[in-house]
Amino acid sequence: MRPKILITDRIHEVAIEEARGFADVDLNFGLSHEELIEKIGKYDALIVRSGTKVTKEVIEKSNLKIIGRAGVGLDNIDMEAARKRGIMVVNSPEASTISVAELVIGSLIALMRNIIQAHTSMKEGKWERSKFMGNELFGKTMGIIGFGRIGREVALRAIAFGMDVLVYDPGITGEDAREYNCRLLDLDELLKNSDIVTLHVPLTDATRGMIDERRLNMMKNSAILVNIARGGLVDEEALYRVLKENKIKGAVLDVFEEEPPRGSKLLGLDNVVLTPHLGASTDEAQINAGTVVVEKIKNFFRE
Ligand code: NAD
């Protein structure tokens, strides 16, 4: 028997085609809550992104065996109601790992080689060769805070560039770090010894504001801070001050306490590279978000 899957938020066409390979698939975008409750009874699986609210009512009216969230956050799914009904919930946090790791390296080189300023200067008709002296990544020390999926991919790329890599993550052992040719240190030692500090931790009560004024002041004057993880990990007011006073050299920011960061003083600085939460904005990450979930659902029905 082919399972019946309802997809209520737009996922990539490639993923829909994969689902059609093993299941009967209905696409129904923009359903109201009432319409979803009315239809859900005849499906074995539901695939959503963040748009569809999978409430207790939806779950209780359903005969679902599995719910797939293409992407990361599960805030739109009543997990407790799903657990009580024995419905499995799967998501695809791994989908954007490579995209984020590549943005770290790309933005860092853009900052260190003044690529954005040089490009803007040329567009203004100038040819300012001596103004844009940069630095190499080679031989520098990268400190990675959070050595999970993304942190590890960043480490592999940093090592390929000839960097030394220090890591801080209470969830891993020194042996885990050594497997990646990295060295595990405590947070303060990592901050003092790194030329580049990059954050790859989730935003939790324990990590909110972890990079505060005291910790920013531990960093080298020549150091660069990279936050492509979550706004809220870094105290932005304090970051502005240390950047303005050249207590650190620069910052790469893809995420902000408030998005968009309207009126933020960080927007007025020269020693930053800013992007509007583009970490997962690649064709590949978007395809993966859907295909990873479809693959998990396929395996579930196979077992
Ligand atoms: P992951 O769960 O694989 O890894 C997170 C790591 O952080 C784990 O190893 C964990 O032990 C560690 N950690 C937890 N608390 C810590 C603490 N207090 N100090 C140090 N380490 C701690 O997650 P991931 O897939 O690598 O993603 C990391 C973060 O990147 C996500 O939580 C998300 O916020 C962010 N992200 C951003 C974008 C973007 O578009 N900019 C895209 C994807 C992910």
| Residues counted in the chain | 303
If 0-12 CB within 10 Å is exposed, 13-18 middle and 19+ buried, where does residue 231 land?
Answer: middle
Residue 108 lies in a domain: no
Give the CATH number, domain containing residue 187. Answer: 3.40.50.720
The pair of structure tokens assigned to 262 is 């309207």
pLDDT per residue as tens digits for the range 166-204: 999 999 999 999 999 999 999 999 999 999 999 999 999
The per-residue pLDDT for 303 is 84
Considering the entire predicted model, what is its pTM? 0.93
Q: Is the pLDDT of residue 73 over 90?
A: no
Same domain assignment for residues 162 and 68? no
Residue 204 lies in a domain: yes
Q: 272, 253 in Cβ contact below 8 A?
A: yes
CB atoms closer than 10 angstroms to residue 52: 24
Q: How far apart are CA 267 and CA 290, in angstroms?
A: 34
Residue range of the domain that includes 56: 4-92+283-302
Q: 45, 23 in Cβ contact below 8 A?
A: yes
Mean pLDDT for the stretch of residues 31-43: 97
Residue 11 lies in a domain: yes
Residue 123 lies in a domain: no
Residue 102 lies in a domain: no
Same domain assignment for residues 153 and 252? yes
- Residue of 104, 150, 210, 227 best suited for mutating to test ligand 1, as the one with most atoms within 8 Å of CB: 150
Backbone angles phi, psi at 2, to 5 degrees: -75, 130
Mean pLDDT for the stretch of residues 192-220: 98
pLDDT per residue as tens digits for the range 118-141: 999 999 999 999 999 999 999 999
Same domain assignment for residues 287 and 243? no
Same domain assignment for residues 61 and 152? no
Residue 200 lies in a domain: yes
Same domain assignment for residues 258 and 144? yes
If 0-12 CB within 10 Å is exposed, 13-18 middle and 19+ buried, where does residue 177 land?
Answer: buried
Q: Is the pLDDT of residue 146 over 90?
A: yes
The per-residue pLDDT for 244 is 97
Is the CB of residue 233 below 6 angstroms from any atom belonging to ligand 1? Answer: no
Same domain assignment for residues 170 and 259? yes
Confidence of residue 1 (pLDDT cuts 50, 70, 90): confident
pLDDT per residue as tens digits for the range 84-119: 999 999 999 999 999 999 999 999 999 999 999 999
Mean pLDDT for the stretch of residues 226-237: 97
Active-site residues: which are they? 230, 259, 277
Provide CB contacts within 8 A for 89, sequence distance 6+: 66, 67, 68, 69, 74, 77, 79, 82
Same domain assignment for residues 266 and 144? yes
Same domain assignment for residues 252 and 290? no
Same domain assignment for residues 140 and 228? yes
Same domain assignment for residues 145 and 21? no
Sign of the dihedral defined by the CA atoms of residues 68, 74, 76, 82, in that order: positive
**For the chain, what is the domain count?**
2
Is the CB of residue 147 below 6 angstroms from any atom belonging to ligand 1? Answer: yes
Q: What percent of the chain has pLDDT over 90?
A: 98
Same domain assignment for residues 150 and 265? yes
Residue 152 lies in a domain: yes
- Residue of 201, 227, 234, 274 best suited for mutating to test ligand 1, as the one with most atoms within 8 Å of CB: 201
Which pairs count as long-range contacts for 284-288, CB under 8 Å and 24+ apart, including other chains? 284/98, 284/99, 285/95, 285/96, 285/98, 285/99, 286/12, 286/95, 287/12, 287/14, 287/15, 288/92, 288/94, 288/95, 288/96
Residue owning the nearest CA to atom 25 of ligand 1: 149
Q: Cα of 285 to ligand 1 centre, how many Å?
A: 16
> Which residue in 15, 63, 11 sits closest to 40, CA to CA?
63
Same domain assignment for residues 174 and 66? no
Backbone angles phi, psi at 28, to 5 degrees: -150, 85
Q: How far apart are CA 19 and CA 119, in angstroms?
A: 44
Burial track 63-97 (b if 16+ CB lie within 10 A, e otherwise) = ebbbbbbbbbebeebbeebbeeeebebbbbbebbb
Residue 101 lies in a domain: no
